[in-house]
Structures are given as C-alpha cells and as structure tokens.
Amino acid sequence: MNLYDKFSELNIDIASLTVKKQQTDYKIKYVSEYIRVWAIISAERKEVKDISFIDCMCNAGVYADGDCCTAIEVLRIFIEIANNHKEKNFHLYLNDFDYDKIKFLNSVLNLVYDVELENLKIHIDNKDVNVYLDSLVKNSNIFGMGRSVVLYIDPFDFGTVIIPKVTEVLKKNYCEVIFNFFSSDYSRNIRNDKERIKKCIGGLSIKNKEEIIEYIQKQLKVGSIKYLFSYEFKTRKNVELYQIIFVTPSSKGLEKLKDVLWKVFDGKEFHRNEDETGQLSFFTTEDEKELRAKEYATEAKRMLLKKYSGEKVSYSTIEIYLIENTMLREGQIIKYVIKPMIDEGILTKNGETRNSSNYKKDTYTVGGFNE
Ligand SMILES: C[S@@+](CC[C@H](N)C(=O)[O-])C[C@H]1O[C@@H](n2cnc3c(N)ncnc32)[C@H](O)[C@@H]1O
C-alpha cells in the first residue's frame, strides 16, 4: 500500500522518514506474506483464541516513498481475517524508540484503521527495544495457552538488540521469532568494536562469522523452539547485508515459511538486489524454479545419505530434516528426492502402508554413503 498522496493530510514530514532500500521491499513482502499464512492457519485452529504480531522496532508506518511498513501491511491482513473470524481476537503490538516515528505511525493508523473492530486491538509503545523485550519476558497478557504469537525484531544494525534478552523471551514463552541478523554490520565493525557489538552478545569475544552464526542459533533455539531457517539478503555485488532468521516450535510453521519463500523469491537460494538494467533471462520463472528444485535435490540426496546411512526412517523425519537444512519445500520432497532416490536404488520404500502409493505414511531405508 502506498500513502504518498496522503502525506500532507497526515501531517507527515518526509525528512524524518526512512528512505526505503531495494531489499526492504522484499523483506516486507516476505514477512507479511508469512504472517498472512500463519494468521489464517491460527484463526482456523479451535484451540487458538488470540493471534498477536509484535513488531519491536516498527518504524513510522510509512517510508519516504509512501510505501507502508510491515506493521501496516500486517494490520491490513489482520483487518481482513478479523472480519471473517469474529470469534478470535487479534492484537498488533508496535514499538519504536523514536518519538516522531510513533507520532507518524499513529496518524497512519488512524487513516488505515478508520473503522474499529471489536476483535482487533493495537497496542503502541515508545521504548528502547531492550526495555521492551524485558517487558515481554513475563507478560501473561500476550503469551500463554490458546495464544499464537509472532515476534518480529528488525534493527538497522547488529549493535542494538541484546540477543540474550531475546533468549529470555523464548525461554519463558511459546512463540515464533523473525529476527534480522545484520551480518554486514557485524563483519564490518567487529574488529574495531569497543562495546557496541559485544554488549549484544553477552560480553563474549566472537570474531568470526561462523562462530557468530553458531552463537545466534544457540541463543534462539531455546525453550520450545525446535526449528530454525535463515535466508540471506545480498547487495548487487553479492555482499551479504543481512539474514532473516526464523525460529519456530512447530514443523507446520517451518513448512509454511518455505512455501512463502518459494512464492516470494521463486526458490532462489538468497535474495540479491538487481541491476537497474534488468537483464533478460532465457528461462521462464517456472523453468527456473524447476531447475533450482533439481539442483537443491542433488545436494539433498547426498545429505540424506550422509545423515541416515543404513537407517530406517519415517517420511516426516526426512521431510523435516530437508526443509530445515536445504531450500526445498515440503511439496517438492517426494517428487525431487524420494522418488528419484528409489529409482536410483539408494532408498528403499518399506511398503508399511496399506496403500502402496502412500509416500507420506511409509518408512524408508537409506542406502550406504560413499564420500
Ligand atoms: C529497519 S527499521 C524497522 C522496519 C520495520 N520493521 C519494517 O519492517 O517496516 C528499524 C527501526 O528501529 C528503530 N530503532 C532503532 N534503535 C532502536 C532501539 N534501540 N529501540 C527501539 N527501536 C529502535 C528505528 O527507529 C527504526 O524505525
């Protein structure tokens, strides 16, 4: 949604808005598309009563070009779903430490959310992100039984969010997290860091990228979190800017995220900003997706052989392992990995189901692995 034409009505001063970068469009699309799918599924679950999206660093509601921030896109999604699910409560928790941004956000909200719904509430805060995270640790108004929550943490750099505070929220509560790991800031500035970055990683001295990734994964895979998937955003020159890390307690969440990834990025292994020239491709998007799936499947087969060599495993074990560790999504696993491996004689379908064409309920014996 673009509100550029409404800026004077909203009393918005463009100079204090953030200039949107090329990659930001994709980040907003990726996150809000996942929220749409997650919110629909949550609304259809009998045991879920409250559906909450928390944006700890939400910005002003609009960027300088008039495009809306993620929080506003999520609000529009919530309005639509809340209208169809009057029996569920929807909450949008929005925070930013910048007073002006919150002021503009309020004007944008008044415009976009003009007809208030009984079952959709917006809660606004104007705190430092780390104070805000502290307030979430023991917040029984937001988390708990019957509540489906996604927490979004999207800083401009690496040296702002104290990662152990995110860990505390996850240790005490059941939720999913989308965290923007600003790897370029880390890599560029870690050498000369005095305290800015160090204070975000519990005072540790971590100097290389592999170790920082390992650290973040360890800090986020706590409490009920079982699965983690991270997606890289790169500059035109192929330099990594950041990784959007997603963690979830549920295999369904991971499956849905992968579907969204293929929808938004056509299954590309990472997002890379484009040249202004916009080169022509010989392939259509569908051809490209097919080629990519086949490429990922080659690696997936090797990984499967290595991980489960000689073992008997269920379909769901194979599925979860590949969704978490490769770019493949659930709908591609039988077609591109299981069936070809059976044909190649490196996987045996054990036929433990009544219907021999049922692949999902069966078990498999994995062949030997040769390096
Ligand atoms: C990358 S922008 C967020 C974009 C937004 N999440 C979206 O997807 O449209 C980062 C935001 O963090 C805010 N911010 C920076 N430091 C902060 C802090 N210490 N506490 C809270 N907010 C902070 C900035 O004001 C800015 O609006």
DSSP string, 222-277: -TT--EEEEEEEE-TTS-EEEEEEEEES-HHHHHHHHHHHHHHHTT-SSEEPPPTT
- Does the Cβ of 55 fall within 6 Å of ligand 1? yes
> Are residues 337 and 193 part of one domain?
no
Any ligand 1 atom below 6 A from CB of 165: no
Residue 32, CB half-sphere, CA atoms under 13 Å: how many?
A: 20
Q: Strand, helix or coil at 222?
A: coil
Q: Is residue 20 domain-shared with residue 92, that is, in the same domain?
A: yes
Residue 157 sits in the same domain as residue 237: yes
- Whole-number pLDDT of residue 73: 98
> Angle 65-109-29 (CA atoms, 0-180°, nearest 5)?
50
Confidence (pLDDT) at 282: 63
Look at residue 268 and tell me whether its pLDDT is greater than 60: yes
Q: Kindly indicate the confidence band of residue 115, based on its pLDDT and cuts at 50, 70 and 90.
A: very high
Domain presence at residue 279: no
Neighbours of 258 (CB within 10 A): 24
CA 261 to chain centre: 9
Residue 99: the pLDDT is: 95
| Residue type for position 161 | V
* CATH number, residue 232: 3.40.50.150
Is 155 touching ligand 1 by the criterion CB < 6 Å?
yes
Confidence of residue 191 (pLDDT cuts 50, 70, 90): confident
Does residue 70's CB lie within 6 angstroms of at least one atom of ligand 1?
Answer: yes
Task: Quote the CA–CA distance of 232 and 240 in Å, as a whole number.
Answer: 7
Averaged pLDDT, 7-32: 92
Choose one of 30, 59, 75 to mutate for the ligand 1 pocket test, by most ligand atoms within 8 angstroms of C-beta: 59
Round to the nearest angstrom and report the end-to-end CA distance of the chain.
51
Residue 157 CA to ligand 1 center (angstroms) comes to: 9
Nearest ligand 1 atom, CA 156: 1
Average pLDDT over residues 317-324: 97
- According to the model, what pLDDT value does residue 90 have? 98
pLDDT the model gives residue 355: 82
Question: pLDDT for 52-63, tens place per residue?
Answer: 999 999 999 999
Tell whether ligand 1 has an atom less than 6 A from the beta carbon of residue 24: no
User: Is 160 a pocket residue for ligand 1 (Cβ < 6 Å)?
Assistant: yes
Task: State the pLDDT at residue 276.
Answer: 58
What's the full length of the chain, in residues?
371
Q: What region does 230 belong to: left with phi over 0, alpha with psi -120 to 50, or beta?
A: beta
Cα 25 to ligand 1 centre (Å):
16
Q: What region, left, alpha or beta, does residue 156 occupy, with left being phi > 0 and alpha being psi -120 to 50 degrees? A: alpha
Q: How many domains does the chain have?
A: 2
Residue 267 lies inside a defined structural domain of this protein:
yes
**Which one has a higher pLDDT value, 278 or 28?**
28
The pair phi, psi for residue 71, each rounded to 5°, is -55, -40
| pTM, entire model | 0.93
CA separation, residue 285 to residues 269, 280, 367 (Å): 14, 12, 34
User: What is the CA(344)–ligand 1 centre distance, in A?
Assistant: 51
Mutate to test the pocket of ligand 1, among 97, 103, 109, 166 (most ligand atoms within 8 A of CB): 97
Helix pair angle (70-84, 22-44), 10° resolution: 20
The CATH number of residue 343's host domain is 1.10.10
Could you give the percent of the chain with pLDDT greater than 90?
85
328-345 per-position pLDDT tens digit: 999 999 999 999 999 999
pLDDT on residue 201: 95
Q: What is the mean pLDDT of residues 227-236?
A: 95
Residues 6+ apart with CB under 8 A from 127: 95, 97, 135
Owning domain of residue 129: 4-272
Q: Give the per-residue pLDDT at 279.
A: 58
Rounded average pLDDT over 241-265: 96
Assess if residue 277 is contained within a domain. no
Domain boundary among 272, 298, 314: 272
Written as one string, the DSSP assignment of 286-321 is HHHHHHHHHHHHHHHHHHHHHHHTT-EEEHHHHHHH
96 shares its domain with 135: yes
Token pair in block for residue 190 = 């870690």
> Is it the case that residue 236 has pLDDT exceeding 90?
no
Q: Is residue 17 part of a domain?
A: yes
pLDDT digits (tens, 9 = 90+) for 282-320: 667 888 889 999 999 999 999 999 999 999 999 999 999
